[in-house]
Amino acid sequence: MAGKLFHVDVVTPEDIIWSGAAQMVSARTTEGDIGILADHEPTMAALATGPVQITDADDEVTTIGIHGGFLQIYANTVTLLTDRAETTEGGREEALRLAEELKAAEQRAVEASEAG
């Protein structure tokens, strides 16, 4: 039996990664892991490098590796704004590895632009 649902958007500048109704979202903020259920208080948080997991209405879990960004919870709408995100079939470990990869890719890009 599905719990109470709320709306979740995961957006990057180039794409909407995930959008729909969910039962639960877990994410890694700079302050630590956070689990979100429906009717969460309004919150704004900075996202760290790590996995995000979304449990949708059919108990399906989507795992996304995310590097940086922001999390906004307002009126049962959760918005994750992130520069870099990628969904994965693997579990949290895989997502974390993916997120670290995104971070490394960004660092390389920064170094390249500074060198250039």
Partner 1 sequence: MASAEVRQIRRRIKSVESTMKITRAMELIATSRIAKARVRVAENQPYTNKMNEVIRNLGAGTGSISHPLLESRPVKTAGIVVVSSDRGLAGGYNSSVIRMAEHRILDLREHGTDMRLYTVGEKAKAYFAYRNFEIEHAWLGVTDTPGYGDARMIGNALLEEYETERVDSFEVFTTRYVSALTQKPVQWQVLPIEPPPSDDGGEASVAYTFEPSAEAILARLLPRYLEGTIFGMLLEASASEHAARRRAMKAATENAEELVRLLTREANQARQAEITTEISEIVGGAEALAGG
Applying CB under 8 A, which residues contact partner 1?
9, 11-16, 29-31, 34, 41-46, 68-70, 72, 74, 79, 81, 83, 109-110, 113
Q: Which is nearer to partner 1, 15 or 60 (CB)?
A: 15
Q: Which is nearer to partner 1, 41 or 58 (CB)?
A: 41
- Smallest gap from Cβ 22 to partner 1, in A, equals 17
- Smallest gap from Cβ 82 to partner 1, in A, equals 9
Structure tokens at 107: 């660092």
3-state secondary structure of 64: strand
State the Cα–Cα distance between residues 96 and 107, nearest whole angstrom: 17
Residues belonging to the chain: 116
Cβ proximity of 86 and 63 under 8 Å? no
Cβ proximity of 26 and 71 under 8 Å? no
- Smallest gap from Cβ 73 to partner 1, in A, equals 9
Q: Which is nearer to partner 1, 79 or 87 (CB)?
A: 79
